Amino acid sequence: MSSKTLRLTQPDDWHLHLRDGETLSTTVPHSSRTFARAIVMPNLKPPVTTVEQALAYRQRIISHIPKGRSFEPLMTLYLTDKLDAEEVQRAYDEQCVHAIKFYPAGATTNSESGVAELECVYPAIEKMAELGLPLLIHGEVTGDHIDIFDRERVFIDNVLSPLTQKFPKLKIVLEHITTREAVDFVNSQGDNIAATLTPHHLLLDRNDLLAGGVKPHYYCLPILKRSSHRSALIEAATSGSPKFFLGTDSAPHAIETKETSCGCAGIYSAHAALEFYAEIFEAANALDKLEGFASFFGADFYKIPRNSAKITLSKNPLSVPAEYIFGDSTVIPMRAGETVSWSIEETT
């Protein structure tokens, strides 16, 4: 008997860390297996802060696309205090750069160069609002006195809400949201404000990270929250609202930087990203909503054409290996050594 299948327009990943150097030979084949395009995060060391650097990075990515596949890296710039309105204009004119990423200084992996006070970059933001170039936001406040589980909620109240009032036309993607408050905030705003949702925040909660022993491979930022927040995220993802779309935040780290006394944040999911989302949507009885979330709403928000290729998933288990090569080390993928209940049959 043939197994259940699902045919979708080929999806895009609207939030992806591909890293650089040798590790591109793991990450680029994984993402390009499924996605036609991806918004590529700029938090390299040093970060991608100019159009020139973004174009050079784009070429390094392209050189790792397996023969016969098409994959378009959509580049982003890292917002620093030095970004001026002229570079924003250059980014807009250069068709390969699609957004600017704001990391509050110190909020996450490689965010040392982030912005401490948004006021310093108001001229750049003003220009983005004028041009319709999206600002992508890692929405967490920093500071030791703020509880790590509250950092997204406090960011929305103290930073994001005032920002949207100051720049009401600015296009914003609140990346990898993790709380009911973030869902409610995005829903309360106009269609210039959207959010991405990751497979790990839709599949896991903080018990998966902490109960019965610390699981360093489930440590990511924003940190996994309690299960009631996860329910709110699933509701948002499967609601059919174009404000919520797919962004894996697949963020690989070498095993020795995760399994250590002060481990890096980031979960690697690119090897089975769409398969994870299919599991999530099936469990929510919402497989009919997957195509909008994965293949339409992001492209519509970024105002780029939807893909025309199709991808077929089938309800055949995908076995995930225990590890993948990652430069001169290895990376432990999400669901390592286990199975995902869907797999990709073909892309046409």
Instruction: Determine if 291 is a binding residue for Zn ion (CB under 5 A).
Output: no
Distance CA(217)–CA(224), nearest Å, equals 12
The residues with which 312 forms a beta bridge, in sequence order, are 7, 346
Instruction: Name the catalytic one among 144, 157, 249, 300.
Output: 249
Of the candidates 253, 179, 269, 271, which has an alpha carbon nearest to the alpha carbon of residue 216? 253
Cα torsion 300, 302, 306, 312: sign: negative
Instruction: Determine if 115 is a binding residue for ligand NCD (CB under 6 A).
Output: no
Q: Could you tell me where the beta strands, DSSP code E, fall in 19-176?
A: 37-40, 72-78, 97-102, 135-137, 172-174
**Binding-site string for Zn ion from residue 241 to residue 280, where x marks contact by CB under 5 A and - marks none:** --------x-------------------------------
Instruction: Determine if 9 is a binding residue for ligand NCD (CB under 6 A).
Output: no
Pairing verdict, β 97-102 and 72-78: parallel
What is the closest distance, in whole angstroms, from the C-beta atom of residue 206 to ligand NCD in the complex? 14
**Binding-site string for ligand NCD from residue 56 to residue 95, where x marks contact by CB under 6 A and - marks none:** ----------------------------------------
Cα torsion 319, 321, 325, 330: sign: positive
Half-sphere exposure of 182 (CA within 13 A, CB side): 38
Residues 180-239 that bind ligand NCD (CB under 6 A): 220-221
DSSP 226-245: -HHHHHHHHHHHTS--TTEE
Residues 30-49 that bind ligand NCD (CB under 6 A): 43
Q: CB-wise, 8 or 221, nearer to Zn ion? A: 221
Which partner from the list Zn ion, ligand NCD, none does 224 bind, CB cut-off 5 to 8 Å by kind? none
**Binding-site string for ligand NCD from residue 125 to residue 144, where x marks contact by CB under 6 A and - marks none:** -------------x------
Query: Where does this chain bind ligand NCD (CB under 6 A)?
Result: 17, 43, 108-110, 138, 220-221, 249, 251, 265-266
Query: Where does this chain bind Zn ion (CB under 5 A)?
Result: 249
